[in-house]
Structure 1
Amino acid sequence: MLNIEAEWISFVIVGFATLFLVGEILVNAKGIFSLLGLGFITVYFSSFLDTGMFFIMLIIYFVGILLIVIDGKVLNDGTLAVIGTVLMVVSVGFASPNWLAGTYAVLGVFIGGLSSLLFLKVFKKRNMWTKITLFDQLTEEEGYSSINTTYKSLIGKTGITRTDMRPIGTVKVEEKEYSAITQGKWLKKDTEIVIESVDGTRILVKEKQ
């Protein structure tokens, strides 16, 4: 068992461990970062824990890492990533010999994790993260459109309300029905309307004069 006497060393060791392990998730480092991260986190846990607790906390820490990976590959909503981060924090916090060393260790998790984002500027990023970060700009020139082209073509056309507009309701334009809204004005069913503007799929109508 190694001996870490200065509490701030926990920040350094856990920080580097998280930096390299999360960095391995973000970029393709060919396993080098994972080995470095594993080495640092092993030093941390082995310094304070006996063999039984060493493996328990190590497993909890890596389950946290695994949840972050699963979030990046499957869910992409951040839920599992948050849970994974909590598990990492819990493992290093409970493994520390006192509250000060634990605080340093927890800071190491957050600072190391945030610092790993710098690797994205240097190394090739993994494709799994493109789902959440949207590296490609969604522009019409690249084949994307933030506004439904069918709805855009409705601007200026006339129709009739199929329900009462309070101020949201249904309108019929060219034999098709759409959900629409007025500028706060209530309109009765079967009122003639004109499409004033379209914002995405939000259709703004007004009474035809």
Structure 2
Amino acid sequence: MNRFALMRKLIFLSFIVLAGIIWMFKLPVHSQSNNQVVYFVPIEQAVERGLEAFLKRALETAEYEGADHIVLEIDTPGGLVDAATNIANLIKTTETPITAYVKVQALSAGAYIALNADQIVMAPGTTIGSAAVIDSAGNAAEEKANSMWLATIEGAARDRDPIYARAMADKNVDLPEYRAGVGYLLTLYADEALEVGYAEAIAKDRTELLEFIGMANAEVREIEVSFAEKVARFVTHPVIIPILLSIGSLGLVLELYSPGFGIPGIMGLSALLLFFFGHLVAGFAGYETLIVFGAGILLIIIEIFFPGFGLFGVLGIVAIIGSMVLASYSTVNILLSILVATVVSVVASILMFKFFGYRGPLKRLILTDSTKSELGYVSSVTRKELVGKIGIVTTRLRPSGTAIFEEERLDVVSEGGYIEQGKKVKVISSTGSRIVVREIKE
């Protein structure tokens, strides 16, 4: 495979990646119904930006199709504060009445989301609360962030007694009758939430729930998380992003160290495809990020085949990193993820080169042979047979000049300093083109 065939192959693979990322999305179809319509929307697993994108679509779809009521079925242990805040804003800006129905648990960010609904209904034995702010390491947030969060969650309580909302986020609020205070956050069971006004009713199933909201005969519709949205929720998780980028970079590095195009390359391209696909579906990235990413790949290919003093390579790397930053919802998180992926790639490259050598497709473009004397490469012939021979200096040696040895004129260098013309000299060493002589004292 020559350099141009390899270049065409890399460009073709680049277009495969970009083409695989571009998907067609269906718009919601407007339908009408003479009956009342209630939409059930699930809020499950961790609260993150992928869930936010799904709920945005779900609420817009429900309103577009003329929903009379929306029920958020909640079962979540919590998640990201920024995602929960954005979801709360979506709920507050939705004109259709919204009921939060706690099916299992509404903890942390899930409790905050429930408090922003128009009313809360809980299934028997379910829980709500425990809403302290923690960082990515699982530690309590700094005082400034915690103070802002306390004010936010108290505001979400609205006409409810704010002391209970504060106790959900502050361990110092003492409510011993509900196991809160002295280092413990408030978590209310369904009957306790009903008692303190943090739930309007207890309903064991959808039938009782619909009776409570006065829509027992309403048409029930469900908005499910699509497969694409499930993938997007997974790959946009802050923990998954660095893993995904590490797999992508490692796969491409391994592909460079192996002939042909095989599993490592497919693995790397698939990881990058998932990254952009997930962020595209979640609504964080636009098609402009794909254009920037493709431009970065092309610049690196140009640098490989037409070196430009590293300029094209640097621009390509900047374009790729820039496309990932543009596609991400958190600049700090994506930069840390890229740093992790870079470290993994560098370590893998060193290990692969050390233990396996280079056997990849670029080997045809890189000169790896060396001009060793064992292979017959010599810069000049070393004439060992001259050592010990005696000749006459034909020019003054200062310290170099010429001398005649058995009618052969040779360029020589004196061992010491000056040697006068006509003096006898003896060859004491010969290395390549350097012949060293010493004057013979008579």
TM-score (norm 1): 0.59
Point out where structure 2 has 5 or more consecutive residues left out of the alignment.
1-20, 22-231
CA apart distance, 1:144: 3.1
- Inter-partner Cα distance in structure 2 for 1:27 and 1:12: 22
State the AA in 2 paired with 1:25.
L
CA apart distance, 1:112: 1.3
* Number of the residue aligned with 1:4: 236
Larger fraction in helix: 1
CA gap 1:45/1:173 in 2 versus in 1, 3 angstroms: farther
Name which of 344, 347, 356 aligns with 1:111: 344
Alignment of 1:101 with 2:334, yes or no, is: yes
CA gap 1:16/1:164 in 2 versus in 1, 3 angstroms: farther
Alignment of 1:131 with 2:364, yes or no, is: no
- Inter-partner Cα distance in structure 2 for 1:129 and 1:50: 36
- Inter-partner Cα distance in structure 2 for 1:22 and 1:163: 62
Superposed CA deviations along residues 118-174 of structure 1, whole A, max 9, x for unmatched, are 556569924527733x4x89463xx435674444554445564767546xx455566
* Number of the residue aligned with 1:197: 429
* Number of the residue aligned with 1:54: 290
8 Å contact kept, 2:292–2:320: no
- Inter-partner Cα distance in structure 2 for 1:16 and 1:145: 43
Highest Rg: 1 or 2? Answer: 2
- Inter-partner Cα distance in structure 2 for 1:163 and 1:99: 74
CA apart distance, 1:52: 1.8
* Number of the residue aligned with 2:267: 36
Structure 2 counterpart SS, 1:131? coil
* Number of the residue aligned with 2:303: 67
Superposed CA deviations along residues 9-34 of structure 1, whole A, max 9, x for unmatched, are 45433332232223222221444332
State the AA in 2 paired with 1:144.
G
CA gap 1:24/1:206 in 2 versus in 1, 3 angstroms: same
- In the TM superposition, 1:157-172 aligns within 5 A as 157=389, 160=393, 165=398, 169=400, 171=402
- Inter-partner Cα distance in structure 1 for 2:257 and 2:356: 11
- Inter-partner Cα distance in structure 2 for 1:125 and 1:27: 5
Point out where structure 1 has 5 or more consecutive residues left out of the alignment.
none
State the AA in 2 paired with 1:128.
R
8 Å contact kept, 1:24–1:31: yes
CA gap 1:24/1:202 in 2 versus in 1, 3 angstroms: farther
Q: What fraction of aligned residue pairs are identical, expressed as a percent? A: 15
How large is the Cα RMSD of the aligned pairs?
4.4
CA apart distance, 1:105: 0.9
TM-score (norm 2): 0.33
8 Å contact kept, 1:64–1:83: no
Superposed CA deviations along residues 43-96 of structure 1, whole A, max 9, x for unmatched, are 34553642123222233135325534x38xxx8xxx86x667644542343232
